[in-house]
Amino acid sequence: MRHLIIRFLTTALIAVICLVGVGVGALAATLRIQGGEWRLPEPHEVKALVYSEVEPEPARTVFLQREAMTVRFGPDDAANGVSSLVASGTTHTIPRYRGTNKTWKRLVACVEDKFAGLDVRFTDVAPTGNDHVVVKVGGKQRDIGKKGKAIGGLAPFNGKPLNNVIVFAFDQGGRYRTRTNCETIAHEVGHIYGLDHTYHCRDIMSYLQGCGKKTFVERTLACGEHEMRECVASRPGQNSAAHLLEVLGPAHEEH
Ligand SMILES: [Zn+2]
């Protein structure tokens, strides 16, 4: 038992906070490329982020929240607007997504396309209950009390599927292109199905930029951010597309 707990805590320490600088490549001509970073969480974050060892059913519904949203710090509970990623002890209101109706529709369609063929549904109509993940789209990390360089998004991550959690996909006040927002959302949602970062530019889970549109690549890849490293839970590489299919299963055919 002790061993189990220690191993679990170690996983949490290694992988619990994921700060992503994904998608800035699209703006590389005008912005310095700003990568994400991994860091050890503060003790209070570990407390908030050590999830149950019982693996939840993966969320089949992902709510893309366009409107402003108030989120307070605490153990993740999307249904009640609580997130472990918000600055400790604070409550914040993240502003509305800055794009137009047209760009929003394009964004939702783009995200759906990234997960095509999988048993998951994206909606921009607020679901009831707690069996879903919320992606708050819009704002910047300062809006949840985080300082530092511009980052694409944030998601809780422990290498296993998570449910009833809030994921953030920032639009930096409208500076990001739709494709960048789309790839950020797909990346962050990938984390809540247990996907690690890969070291392969074309994969959505990679920080590497400058090789065109990203997809969930169906090939076993090395993990890493700016250099290769071992994958979470000592997995021998990661096939992002195959992992999602294993976790979510194939889409049901609609008649
Ligand atoms: Zn990430």
Q: Give the CA distances from residue 179 to residues 85, 124, 175, 185, 245, in Å, rounded to whole numbers and listed in that order.
A: 24, 18, 12, 10, 23
Q: How far is the CA of 254 from the centre of ligand 1 (A)?
A: 32
Q: How far is the CA of 157 from the centre of ligand 1 (A)?
A: 9
Q: Which residues are found with C-beta within 5 Å of the ion, ligand 1? A: 18, 20
What is the full DSSP assignment across 22-37?
TTGGGGTTTS-----B
The predicted pLDDT at position 11 comes to 36
User: Tell me: the pLDDT tens digits for 29-79?
Assistant: 222 223 343 444 444 444 444 445 567 889 999 999 999 999 999 999 999
Q: How far is the CA of 30 from the centre of ligand 1 (A)?
A: 23
Phi and psi dihedrals of 223, rounded to 5?
A: -95, 165
The predicted pLDDT at position 1 comes to 35
The predicted pLDDT at position 56 comes to 80
Q: How far is the CA of 162 from the centre of ligand 1 (A)?
A: 15
Q: How far is the CA of 128 from the centre of ligand 1 (A)?
A: 27
**Domain boundaries in the chain?**
2-194
Q: Which residues of the chain have pLDDT under 50?
A: 1-51
The predicted pLDDT at position 91 comes to 97
Q: How far is the CA of 255 from the centre of ligand 1 (A)?
A: 36
Q: How far is the CA of 197 from the centre of ligand 1 (A)?
A: 6
